Structure 1
Amino acid sequence: MIRKTRPPRAGGAPGKRGADAAVRAARRGDAGVAEEKLSKIAGLPAVAAVFRHEAERVVRLYYDDSMKTVAGPFCAELARLRRPYRLLSPEEMARVAGTVLHGGIVAAVRPREVPELSLETAQQWAKAGAGMVLLDGVGNPHNLGAIARTLAFFGLGHLLLSNHPAQAGLSDAAYRVAEGGLEFLDVRRLTGPAQALKKLRSHFHVVGTALHARGVSPEAVPLDRRPILLVLGNEENGLPPPTLAACETIVTLPGCGQVQSLNVSATAAILTYSLLLRKPEARGRQ
């Protein structure tokens, strides 16, 4: 059992002993929660988003002098929840965050669950006209975070992650790059995507992506009344063959040939805008 400490005043200097204690506590987890694995959400946009949507997930808050003023409301919320927060030096912040790219503020939070997508839930989303994106083998968490940021920017609320062994999950790096976008998304797991997509085709137009010139351009993707489920794969190898075979339409972004392909997050941004945001009335005329 980890002994609880009284939260210090926001803006109070931690001192070396206090900073070291904060780092040790960050490594151990929540005070009063034995050996719980916590996620680290870094950067002001991401931290602000988690406080706005699920403040109860925040276990601890760390910030440096540059964030002392903006951290005030977050500290007040944690004080209400009787949870600690610390002002740390830049060096200690880097140790707590595990990276120097922390933006001066880090929230240690209880990890989000990623539940399995049920057919009933998918049907509800389809009836609401909600397009979504499936990542199948996208292993770089920075790409996952960038794609989540894109979906949130465009107001889309659903992201699926396959059970591909290389597929990235909701890591600290993904949260940092998403800039708060993951807090706006309903993230679900799709196990066995090749078989699952065949069932989902009754409700979604499943559009896969191919690296080489084997698909149609985005403008040529046929539309109907079903929302689009866009499937993106690994940058080096693309989608696994069984997943690609389960897609109704294959799309390829035409380039000039000077480089092999776009970064998958760039592809996601282009296709999200060109396909998932098409107006429902445009689908109805097809």
Structure 2
Amino acid sequence: MSSATSAAEDVCCKRLVGKVALVTAATAGIGLATAERLAQEGASVFICSRKQSNVDETVAALRSRGLEVAGCACHVGSAEQRRQLVEQCVKRYGGLDMLVSNAAVNPGAGPLAETPPDVIDKILDINIKSAVLLVQEALPHLLRRPGASIVFVSSVTAFNPAAPIAMYAVSKTALLGLTKGLAAELGPRGVRVNCVAPGIVPTKFSAALVQTPELAARQAEGTLLRRLGRPQEQAAAVAFLVSPDAAYVTGETLVVAGGMQSRL
């Protein structure tokens, strides 16, 4: 474990002790950083990824550092696997307080007007439809816990969908609306719903945007801070939104993008 990680754990507050979090697509990138941060703050965290081997490796790594983490393989596009995901989480930890919907795909690149139907179908199926259906699966359990919350992981590109990832960005725009709609429905029932919109964070998922030093530098120049983001910075935003510190925050999108343009 690096000294930087040790330092982060030393100063990490414990706002989530006794809570249970479910984080999708949590074996790499922002999802992994989020699972790690929530566990550092005291939550029991249940993770998933499409490959069981990735889940096993991640769980072992986080447990080796004394964090309470478990998980299973789940393709969020499968109704049966979504059901089993929530069921196993609740069976393992006795309930569910927080759902972080992070799973997303981007199977194609190019202008919106040239996006093939199969690419559109897959993006909307995983990035939007599956997110809604996962909420439906988790909601009965969330409603049983005071202070329950949901966080969607969107993208700063939601505010300005452009090639080469325009269709993906449009699906992330839809998450902003989903956040507002669900917050209005679930607020009176005691469940808060918020969203995080990350900027450009160098991960495997965003590799196409930062695949050369020149391209990465260009992306960094598009921020006011003149640098790219880090997964841990997105995780900190999620941790705030699910914590008691955000008890009066719902229906909001928190942009964590170094000052990139973020208005519709």
User: With structure 1 as the length reference, what TM-score do the two structures score?
Assistant: 0.33
Bigger Rg, structure 1 or 2: 1
| Structure with the largest fraction of helix | 2
